[in-house]
């Protein structure tokens, strides 16, 4: 066995930046044919041009878009082997600072999209009796954290979607797992903050909370996603893999 993805047809959401873009690059390097999805048209096309992949621009919180896109990819290539649900957003607030619209938006992007895309994907995977889905959870899907209530709730839901769907399809050749990243050096680490953290701020965060004493790079998460998509992970399903520099081991 190897971690080669040669011949695999993959869809990766959130592919315009951060961990999604790193996963696109990792999959292409491993031989996969990738379609990336993002609502950031400029960023998505830039990654697509760089990697020789196909970009589809759209909103993954829209059920019809998700179904049509998955069906389109499967029809174009004759199959769908891997779905990576990486697209996500964050709202930094406690309950009192979270409006109804903010709650609905983060739920739509972080939870609804995972459900819509996975539901569409498994229909094709069941028919071919093979496939892998990798969801992006978080350390905050297992542990609570102050000031990010909605985000914690969504990632907990992603972890449970992962486990439940894995059990539903375990005997159909479909493996469903999740990565649970810790602090990663991506644009999201600055999203929703009153000030953009400096390099010194980020190092102080790492020193205070992460045993390895540094933030992860997106490529380090992408390599674990590639492993989960590969035949090397043939006996892994329903697992939540922390990639967090030891944070949850504390």
pLDDT digits (tens, 9 = 90+) for 98-145: 999 999 999 999 999 999 999 999 999 999 999 999 999 999 999 999
d(CA 193, CA 49): 31
Kindly state whether residue 2 falls inside one of the protein's structural domains. no
Kindly state whether residue 3 falls inside one of the protein's structural domains. no
Please state whether the predicted TM-score (pTM) of the whole model is above 0.85: yes
CA-based angle 103:84:13, to the nearest 5? 60
Kindly state whether residue 250 falls inside one of the protein's structural domains. no
Q: Which residues are catalytic?
A: 151
Contacts of 222 (CB under 8 A, 6+ apart): 19, 22, 23, 25, 26
- Cα–Cα nearest to 142, from 25, 245, 249: 249
Q: What is the CATH number of the domain that holds 58?
A: 3.40.50.720
The first and second tokens of residue 185, run together, are 């050096």
Q: Mean pLDDT of all residues in the chain?
A: 95
Kindly state whether residue 248 falls inside one of the protein's structural domains. no
pLDDT digits (tens, 9 = 90+) for 148-188: 999 999 999 999 999 999 999 999 999 999 999 999 988 77
d(CA 90, CA 87): 11
Domain of residue 50 covers: 9-243
Q: Do the beta carbons of residue 52 and residue 75 sit within 8 Å? A: no
The domain tally of the chain equals 1
Kindly state whether residue 22 falls inside one of the protein's structural domains. yes
């Amino acid at each position: 066995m190897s971690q080669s993805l040669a011949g695999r047809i993959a869809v990766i959401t959130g592919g315009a930046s951060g961990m999604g873009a790193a996963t696109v690059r990792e999959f292409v390097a491993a031989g996969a044919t990738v379609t990336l999805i993002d609502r950031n048209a400029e960023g998505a096309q830039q990654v697509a041009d760089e990697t020789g992949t196909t970009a589809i621009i759209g909103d993954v919180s829209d059920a019809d878009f998700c179904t049509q896109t998955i069906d389109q990819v499967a029809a174009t290539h004759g199959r769908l082997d891997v779905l990576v649900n990486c697209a996500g957003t964050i709202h930094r607030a406690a309950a009192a600072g979270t409006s109804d619209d903010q709650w609905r938006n983060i739920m739509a992007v972080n939870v609804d999209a995972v459900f819509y895309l996975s539901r569409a994907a498994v229909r094709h995977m069941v028919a071919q009796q093979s496939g892998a889905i990798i969801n992006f959870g978080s350390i905050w899907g297992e542990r609570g954290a102050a000031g990010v209530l909605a985000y914690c709730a969504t990632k907990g839901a992603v972890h449970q979607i992962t486990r439940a769907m894995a059990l539903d399809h375990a005997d159909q050749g479909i493996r469903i797992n999740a990565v649970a990243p810790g602090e990663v050096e991506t644009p999201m680490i600055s999203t929703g903050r009153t000030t953009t953290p400096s390099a010194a701020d980020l190092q102080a965060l790492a020193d205070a909370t992460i045993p390895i004493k540094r933030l992860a790079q997106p490529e380090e998460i992408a390599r674990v996603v590639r492993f989960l998509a590969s035949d090397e992970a043939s006996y892994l399903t329903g697992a939540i893999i922390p990639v967090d520099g030891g944070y949850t081991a504390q």
